[in-house]
Amino acid sequence: MNAPIPLKPLLSVENLWVRFQGEMGTVDAVQGISFFIAPGETVALVGESGSGKSVAALSLLRLLPPSAIVTAEGIYYRGRQTTTLDPEPLRKLRGAEMAMVFQEPMTALNPVYPIGRQLIEALQQDPSVDPRSLRHRAAELLDWTGIPDPESRLDSFPHQLSGGQRQRVLIAMALARHPSLLIADEPTTALDVTIQAQILELLTRLRRELNMAMLLITHDLPMVRKCADRVYVMRQGRIVETAPTQTLFSNPRHPYTRTLLAALPDAHPPRRPANAPVLLTANNLRCHFPIKRGLFKRTVGWIKAVDEVSFQLRKGETLGVVGESGSGKTTLGEAILQLNSSQGEIRFADLDLRSGDRNTQRLRRRRMQVVFQDPFSSLSPRLTIGEILEEGLLIHGLAPDPAQRRARVQEILAEVGLDTDTLDRYPHQFSGGQRQRIAIARAMILKPELLVLDEPTSALDLSVQAQILKLLKKLQQDHGLAYLFISHDLRVIRAMAHEVMVMQNGRVVEAGPTRELFDSPRHPYTQRLLAAALDLSTGGRESDPP
């Protein structure tokens, strides 16, 4: 079902270039791309970070910073050239004809105004709306996007809403003036998986009701499969392949598209060793933070970030910890690493982790190490890679001789698949995937027995994610490492973990062997989570093509 090229596309872009001029030289973020969107069509612009997809979208509304130089043979909206438009007619085009939904619902709303006021502001741009009905219209919009009790919600401030609700408000604002084209820039990336499914459903429903075209910018292939009619695949500023969604997924032609599709993790964890000894035991682990109020900071209650969690982790095994944001999975990881204060028993090998003085506890840290989510903030920006890697050796006196240290650092770099001549460079000179390799090397150089992996692949692109997972599997097999693998991504967990623990509001709601849990989840929350995630990952469109 090839979409015929319409005689009158809603938007067509011809040979678009975007160049950034900075102190460090010029970068061509978008290099001569052309695409079109027919009325009522959903078109996805897919690519990994740095592929130029967001820049291309922002340039349509001229929302790029002044350092960007945009040139195009033509950006035609309803056949009208927009590149030569003056600021005033362009402003009228924004919102009324083309509206935008951004990725980050936390920062896209003004925190000091109630959301009603921000919605009304969007409505006021339209002179035909009766000023007396503004509030009513705003409530209607909220109702439409599925926010319960819209009348009273108008007076809420952004921080009083959850992430999903904020994204709904943003969508309501974008739709306030019934635009013909909605540009959605990673509209669900910052949200939890169950919320993602809801927002996606909402967008699909609204698009159908308004007969609106949508330009979906995303890196999330399952989402593309679920909602898009046609797909453009971008790589390094160019469009490498375009096809109707079905065709692209069943018969990808460009090698890059194929690697993208192959990168979806669906492999299984390495075989677990038989009769491995128990390495880590947590018994009734609790992490409660006091809520203090008033002049004298009296404790009025407790936030139970982690509550009565017990588990066992064997040598060479991976325990996956799944949960949505706020479920306490990161706090659990920190409690195991003794980075926050917790109660309850933690035993590592045969040691009570809380015994001994500060110094013994500090030196014990060598045996369990951690890799954090964001490779951009987890490496000291002012230290070279060599300095970062050898720090652990220095602290624990593992290689007193400088030459020995250097040899060990080079050995570990080779093991995680990095060039050994990178020692004198600084973290910002590396890509996200390389930095995560450095972070893994920093943990591995101490020869730990347990690695706590806190969302180690969530900040990475799909293809890089696959490589990092492969590396982690190899390290586990070579060294008999135990992993505590924390993730919100069920696909990754299924590919990595032997055992899974599902957390909600600080408690473990369900735990068991991975396959069993994925095949027959018992707890309703687990069922909901799996339904949302796996519905996305197996694809299958619900909406009818227009």
Query: For binding to another protein (CB under 8 A), which residues are involved?
Result: 23, 334, 337, 339, 362-366, 369-370, 372-374, 377-384, 391-392, 395-396, 424, 426, 428-429, 439, 442, 446
Sheet holding 351-352, edge to edge: 298-314, 278-293, 343-348, 351-352
What residue type is 473 in one-letter code? K
The sign of the dihedral angle between the CA atoms of 395, 400, 403, 404 is: negative
Least gap, CB of 283 to another protein (angstroms)? 22
Least gap, CB of 406 to another protein (angstroms)? 11
Helix (H, G, I), strand (E, B) or coil at 367: helix
Least gap, CB of 352 to another protein (angstroms)? 18
Which C-beta is closer to another protein: that of 97 or that of 455?
Answer: 455
Which C-beta is closer to another protein: that of 343 or that of 377?
Answer: 377
Least gap, CB of 228 to another protein (angstroms)? 35
With residue 222 as reference, give the H or E element that holds it. helix 221-227
Least gap, CB of 364 to another protein (angstroms)? 8
Answer whether 225's CB lies under 8 Å from 539's CB.
Answer: yes
Q: What stretches of 24-86 show up as alpha helix (H) in DSSP? A: 53-60
- What secondary structure does DSSP assign to 69-111, as a single string? EEEEEEEEETTEE-TT--HHHHHHHHHHTEEEE-S-TTTSS-T
Which C-beta is closer to another protein: that of 332 or that of 495?
Answer: 332
Which C-beta is closer to another protein: that of 380 or that of 404?
Answer: 380
A 10 A CB-CB count for 545 gives 13
Which C-beta is closer to another protein: that of 73 or that of 374?
Answer: 374
CA distance linking residue 156 with residue 299, whole number of Å? 27
Burial class (CB within 10 angstroms; exposed 0-12, middle 13-18, buried 19+) of 189: middle
- Of the candidates 544, 471, 528, 467, the one whose C-alpha atom is nearest the C-alpha of residue 198 is 528
Least gap, CB of 499 to another protein (angstroms)? 23
Least gap, CB of 358 to another protein (angstroms)? 9
Which C-beta is closer to another protein: that of 132 or that of 382?
Answer: 382
Which C-beta is closer to another protein: that of 282 or that of 508?
Answer: 282
Output the six-digit token pair for 382: 């002012």
Answer whether 46's CB lies under 8 Å from 240's CB.
Answer: no
Least gap, CB of 384 to another protein (angstroms)? 8
Which C-beta is closer to another protein: that of 157 or that of 426?
Answer: 426
